[in-house]
Structure 1
Amino acid sequence: MSDMPSRKPIPSSPNTENLRRLVLVRAATITLQCVLVGFAVVVLKFTLPIAPLLLVSCLLMMFNGFTVLRLRHARHGWTVPNGEIALQLAVDITAHATWLFFLGGGTNPMVSWFLVPLAVAAAMLPSRLTWLLTLYTLTIYGLLLFYYMPVSGPVGAPERAFQFHTVGMWLSFVVAALIVAGLVARIGAQLRKRDRELALAREDDLRNEQLMGVAILAAGVAHRLATPLNTMTLLVEEMQSEVGEAGPLSQDLNLLHKQLAGCKQILGLLRAQADSPKPCPVTQAIPALLDDWQLLRPNARPILRVLGIDAAPMCVWDFSLRQAMLNLLDNAADAAEGQSVEIEVDWRGDRLILAILDRGPGFDGRAARHADGAFMTSKAKLGMGVGIHLANASIEKAKGSLRWLQRAGGGTRTEIVLPLVGKAVKYSGA
Structure 2
Amino acid sequence: MSGAAILRHLPGPAPAHAAVGHANMLQLVHLRWLAVAGQLVTILLTRFGFGIPLPLWPMLGVLAGLVVLNAVSLLLMRHPRATTNGELLVALLLDVAALSAQLYLSGGATNPFVSLFLLQVVLGAVLLDRWASWALVGATSLAFALLTAIHRPLVLPPTIDRTLFALHVQGMWVCFALVAVLLVMFLNRIDGNLRAQDRRMAEIRRQAAEEDHIVRIGMLASGAAHELGTPLSSIAVILGDWRRIEAIARDPDLVRDVAEMQAEVLRCKAIVTGILLSSGDARGEESAATTVRALFDRMIADWRDTRDFTAVEYVDRFGGDVSIVSDVVLQQAVFNLLDNAAEASPDMIRIRLDRAGDTLVLAVRDEGGGFAPEQLEAFGKPYNSSKPGLGRGLGLFLAGNVARKLGGGLDARNLPRGGAEVTLHLPLAAIRLEGADDAG
Q: TM-score range by the shorter chain?
A: 0.5 to 0.7
Distance 2:157 2:390 in 1: 83
Q: Residue 22 of structure 2 aligns with which residue?
A: 16
Question: Which has the larger displacement, 215-224 or 82-91?
Answer: 215-224
Amino acid at match of 1:176: V
Distance 1:123 1:224 in 2: 57
Distance 2:22 2:178 in 1: 25
Shift of 1:245: 9.4
Amino acid at match of 2:34: A
Q: Residue 220 of structure 1 aligns with which residue?
A: 223
Aligned pair partner of 2:162 in 127, 152, 159: 159
Shift of 1:161: 2.1
Q: Residue 92 of structure 1 aligns with which residue?
A: 95
Q: Quick one: structure 1 residues 107 and 252, their matched pair in 2 at CA, closer, same or farther if it must change by over 3 Å?
A: farther
Shift of 1:266: 2.2
Aligned pair partner of 2:118 in 115, 118, 125: 115
Mapping for residues 323-402 of structure 1, pairs under 5 Å: none
Distance 1:104 1:28 in 2: 22
Distance 2:148 2:33 in 1: 27
Q: Quick one: structure 1 residues 121 and 245, their matched pair in 2 at CA, closer, same or farther if it must change by over 3 Å?
A: farther
Q: Residue 262 of structure 1 aligns with which residue?
A: 267
Q: Residue 73 of structure 2 aligns with which residue?
A: 67
Mapping for residues 132-211 of structure 1, pairs under 5 Å: 132-211=135-214
Amino acid at match of 2:266: A
Amino acid at match of 2:271: I
What's the % identity of the aligned pairs? 25
Q: Quick one: structure 1 residues 270 and 5, their matched pair in 2 at CA, closer, same or farther if it must change by over 3 Å?
A: closer
Distance 2:14 2:187 in 1: 27
Q: Residue 362 of structure 1 aligns with which residue?
A: none
1:81 aligns with 2:87: no
SS in 2 for 1:145: helix
Q: TM-score, normalised by structure 2?
A: 0.55
Distance 2:22 2:226 in 1: 50
Q: Quick one: structure 1 residues 245 and 97, their matched pair in 2 at CA, closer, same or farther if it must change by over 3 Å?
A: farther
Shift of 1:207: 3.8
Cα RMSD (Å) of the superposition?
Answer: 3.6
Shift of 1:6: 9.5
Distance 1:114 1:245 in 2: 102
Question: Any idea what the Cα deviations from partners look like across 1:62-121, whole Å, max 9, x if unmatched?
Answer: 22222222223x42x4x4321111111111001101111111111211111111221111
Q: Residue 27 of structure 1 aligns with which residue?
A: 33
Unaligned runs of 5+ in 2: 279-335, 341-388, 392-440
Question: Any idea what the Cα deviations from partners look like across 1:310-342, whole Å, max 9, x if unmatched?
Answer: xxxxxxxx957xxxxxxxxxxxxxxxxxxxxxx
Distance 1:252 1:188 in 2: 71
Number of aligned residue pairs: 277
Q: Residue 289 of structure 2 aligns with which residue?
A: none
Amino acid at match of 2:154: V
Distance 1:180 1:47 in 2: 30
Distance 2:69 2:216 in 1: 54
Distance 2:157 2:206 in 1: 66
Q: Residue 285 of structure 2 aligns with which residue?
A: none
Question: Any idea what the Cα deviations from partners look like across 1:215-266, whole Å, max 9, x if unmatched?
Answer: 1122122112112112223444555675569766777655443321111112
Distance 2:202 2:251 in 1: 64
